[in-house]
Amino acid sequence: MRDTSAQCEQKSTEQTKEIEYSLPSTHKNIALIVAAGRGMRAVQSGHDLPKQYRMIGGKTVLAWTLSAFLDHDRIDGVCVVIHPDDRDLYHQCTEAFTAKLLDPALGGTSRQISVYNGLKALESYQPQNVLIHDAARPFITPNLISDLIETLESEVAVLPGRPVTDTLKRVGDHDRKVSETLPRDGLWQAQTPQCFHYNKILQAHGSAQDKALDHFTDDASIAEWHGLEVYLINGWENNRKLTTADDFTWAEQHLEQNKSMANFSGSFRTGSGFDVHAFTQGDHVILCGVNIPHTQTLKGHSDADVGMHALTDALLGSIGDGDIGTHFPPSDPQWKGAASDVFLKDAIDRINRLGGRIQNIDVTLICEQPKIGPHRAAMRKCLSEIMDLDVSRISIKATTTEQLGFTGRGEGIAAMATASVILPETF
């Protein structure tokens, strides 16, 4: 009779909901959370609590981790391996959690022994699978848990990992001299939860214990040593282990970002635009603000920047405010030969006046000639300056129509554009 959603604050005053949980008769999938470490690096950096009991985003690290497993519908039970000195901390932290939470196991003098103690403590539940997870990886996702459990249907052992992207150096302990650069091909960083058929990993750990081998740094390596085939699936970047002070700063920022997304109450809008201009005699075209020498020019009332016109219409479309012709009638002589950034800036002003923010824009230019590729960077830069939008949010693409139709015959250029905008809810 505990509250599933209650936060693990040290002094939770939230009223518990009257919900009866019926324990499944067999615990098919049990998560074993390893929280017995002392986290000395965090202690040394001025925090006197082991890192799994430190607060991030209003909850302890362990509470975030536990919630991820307890809330998952394919997890039947969760057991935490704790340090014998942390009993009070653990109980304060978990008093609001669900009946899925099993009695804690007590850790030993190393991570390996702690996990073995935890595995032995699960024997009476006869689990089919066990997911062994570091308490200090609080951002494990439900999808990754599901993928791992599914993989255990065909594999005995599976872990998540990320490919190594940095170059690896072997460095002398004392002189810090690089002695070797290691090839990183095929190298992955192991994450948790590392998941196993329960009986197999229990045997592997037992066997390591019998032979007094205690050098293993994770459970997959014990499985490998024991001769089990271990499979690896793609992990998740944010499923990282919180170890250093920088990790905790990152974790706070990550949660803050998630909170602002969750509290976001505006609306997402998209708009699309399309435009065509025909070629006529001339020696250049202007596309997305860039002057490109060419054997012809584009015919139009303004500077005939077909890309910028499509983009302007996309922006106006996102706020349901007509199109370029509504605000700048071609019949009005004052727009003759006008630079098209006037139209684009007007559309941006309209969005700004509504309190909106442009998220990204995507323009496709359709023509056989001129070639767009060499000018793409200049176009993105130009639009970035006019729109005051980071260049990473601006996409310019180009295609031909395989010599079909009016663009294929070189009679003109077409352009299409999409824009996405966030508007406040009051709009």
Element (H, E) at 133: strand 129-134
Residue nearest to Mg ion (CB): 309
In the complex with Mg ion, the residue whose CB is nearer, 134 or 275, is 275
Pairing of strands 105-106, 77-82: parallel
In the complex with Mg ion, the residue whose CB is nearer, 275 or 341, is 275
The alpha-helical segments, DSSP class H, found in 269-305 are: none
In the complex with Mg ion, the residue whose CB is nearer, 83 or 277, is 277
Shortest gap between Cβ of 300 and Mg ion (angstroms)?
6
In the complex with Mg ion, the residue whose CB is nearer, 309 or 380, is 309
Instruction: Give the whole-angstrom CA distance, residue 255 versus residue 261.
Output: 10
Provide the 10 A C-beta neighbour count for residue 358.
21
In the complex with Mg ion, the residue whose CB is nearer, 96 or 417, is 417
In the complex with Mg ion, the residue whose CB is nearer, 204 or 314, is 314
In the complex with Mg ion, the residue whose CB is nearer, 77 or 300, is 300
Shortest gap between Cβ of 286 and Mg ion (angstroms)?
12
Instruction: Give the whole-angstrom CA distance, residue 417 versus residue 361.
Output: 7
Element (H, E) at 396: strand 394-399
Shortest gap between Cβ of 400 and Mg ion (angstroms)?
20
In the complex with Mg ion, the residue whose CB is nearer, 198 or 343, is 343
Residues that bind Mg ion (CB under 5 A): 275, 309
In the 8-state DSSP scheme, what is residue 106? E
Shortest gap between Cβ of 322 and Mg ion (angstroms)?
14
Radius of gyration of the chain measured on its C-alpha atoms:
30
Shortest gap between Cβ of 415 and Mg ion (angstroms)?
9
Instruction: Give the whole-angstrom CA distance, residue 372 versus residue 306.
Output: 13
Shortest gap between Cβ of 371 and Mg ion (angstroms)?
22
Provide the 10 A C-beta neighbour count for residue 284.
14
Shortest gap between Cβ of 304 and Mg ion (angstroms)?
7
- CA atoms within 13 Å, Cβ hemisphere of 39: 31
In the complex with Mg ion, the residue whose CB is nearer, 76 or 275, is 275
In the complex with Mg ion, the residue whose CB is nearer, 125 or 343, is 343
From residue 315, give the alpha-carbon distance in Å to each of 111, 120, 320, 350, 384: 56, 62, 9, 9, 15
Question: At which residue do the structure tokens 């990993």 appear?
Answer: 201
CB distance 29 to 148 below 8 Å: no
Instruction: Give the whole-angstrom CA distance, residue 56 versus residue 89.
Output: 16
Instruction: Give the whole-angstrom CA distance, residue 420 versus residue 314.
Output: 9
What is the dihedral sign for C-alpha 47, 49, 51, 56? negative
In the 8-state DSSP scheme, what is residue 362? E
Tell me the CA end-to-end span of the chain in Å, nearest whole number: 44
Q: What tokens appear for 339 in the block?
A: 């630079």
CB distance 80 to 105 below 8 Å: yes
Shortest gap between Cβ of 259 and Mg ion (angstroms)?
43
Instruction: Give the whole-angstrom CA distance, residue 289 versus residue 382.
Output: 6
Shortest gap between Cβ of 403 and Mg ion (angstroms)?
24
Shortest gap between Cβ of 328 and Mg ion (angstroms)?
10
CB distance 6 to 107 below 8 Å: no
Shortest gap between Cβ of 364 and Mg ion (angstroms)?
15
In the complex with Mg ion, the residue whose CB is nearer, 58 or 325, is 325
